[in-house]
C-alpha cells in the first residue's frame, strides 16, 4: 500500500538522518520505499536552496517571506507531480524530509498563515506526519557541531519564532483531522528511530 510519511522539525532536529534510516528500514523489510525532501531536487527546489544560502541574483537585497511562500508552494506542486505521485502510484511508501508544515511554520512567521495555507490547499495530506520536537538552542548546537553554514532561517530569533509557528500549525492541522505525532527529538538517535518505527507500524500495511 502506498503511503506518504513526513518528518518535520527545526533545522537540526534530525529529520534528514531519521528519514534516511526509515527508508533503509522499510526496504530491509522487503517493502518499496522512496526518500525525498523539500526543497526538492527539481529546478524550483534548487533555486530555493541557492536563495537560502544567499546565492541569488541580487545578494544585497533581502527576500520577502511572501516570495519564499510562493516558491515553496510551486516547488511542492512540481515535486508532487514529478516525483511523489509517481512513486505512490507505484505502490511505494514515500518518506519526505519536510512538507507543507514547514511552509506554514517558517513562512507563516513573516507572512499571513491563511494565505500560505491557501497556496498549499492542493498539496496531498500525509498519511502520517512525525514532528521531532527539539528546543531551538539544542538544534542550534547540533548545527554548529556539524559545522553547518548558517542559512537564512537559522538565526536563534527566527528559530524561536519557527518553533512557535510549528506549535500553532500542528495544533490547527490536528484539529482538522490530520494525523500528526510528536516525539522527543532530543532523545538518542536510536531511541528517536525506535519511536518512529513504532508509529509507522500503526499504519495499514
pTM of the model: 0.92
Query: Mean pLDDT over residues 24-40, rounded?
Result: 97
| CB-count burial class (<10 Å; 0-12, 13-18, 19+) for 25 | middle
- So what's the pLDDT on residue 110? 61
Q: How far apart are CA 121 and CA 159, in angstroms?
A: 25
Cis peptide before 39 (omega within 30 of 0): yes
- So what's the pLDDT on residue 52? 82
Q: Which residues pair with 94 in a beta bridge?
A: 4, 34
Ordered by start, the domain boundaries in the chain are 3-200
Render pLDDT for 91-129 as a digit per residue (tens, 0 to 9).
999 999 999 999 999 887 666 788 999 999 999 999 999
Tell which wins on pLDDT, 154 or 25.
25
CATH no. for 3-200: 3.40.50.300
Q: What residues have CB less than 8 Å from 190, skipping those under 6 apart?
A: none
Q: How far apart are the first and last CA of the chain?
A: 6
Amino acid at each position: 500500500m502506498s503511503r506518504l510519511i513526513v518528518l518535520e522539525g527545526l533545522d537540526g532536529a534530525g529529520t534528514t538522518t531519521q528519514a534516511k534510516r526509515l527508508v533503509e528500514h522499510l526496504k530491509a523489510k522487503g517493502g518499496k520505499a522512496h526518500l525525498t525532501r523539500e526543497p526538492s531536487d527539481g529546478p524550483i527546489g534548487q533555486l530555493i536552496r541557492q536563495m537560502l544560502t544567499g546565492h541569488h541574483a541580487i545578494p544585497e537585497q533581502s527576500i520577502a517571506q511572501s516570495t519564499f511562500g510562493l516558491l515553496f508552494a510551486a516547488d511542492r506542486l512540481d515535486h508532487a507531480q514529478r516525483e511523489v505521485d509517481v512513486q505512490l502510484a507505484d505502490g511505494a511508501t514515500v518518506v519526505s524530509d519536510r512538507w507543507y508544515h514547514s511552509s506554514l511554520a517558517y513562512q507563516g512567521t513573516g507572512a499571513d498563515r491563511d494565505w500560505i495555507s491557501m497556496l498549499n490547499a492542493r498539496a496531498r495530506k500525509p498519511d502520517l506526519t512525525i514532528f521531532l520536537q527539539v528546543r531551538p538552542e539544542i538544534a542550534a548546537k547540533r548545527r554548529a557541531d556539524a559545522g553547518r553554514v548558517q542559512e537564512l532561517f537559522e538565526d536563534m530569533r527566527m528559530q524561536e519564532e519557527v518553533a512557535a509557528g510549528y506549535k500553532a500549525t500542528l495544533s490547527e492541522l490536528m484539529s482538522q483531522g490530520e494525523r500528526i505525532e510528536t516525539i522527543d527529538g532530543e532523545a538518542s538517535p536510536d531511541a528517536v528511530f525506535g519511536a518512529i518505527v513504532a508509529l509507522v507500524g500503526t499504519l495499514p500495511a
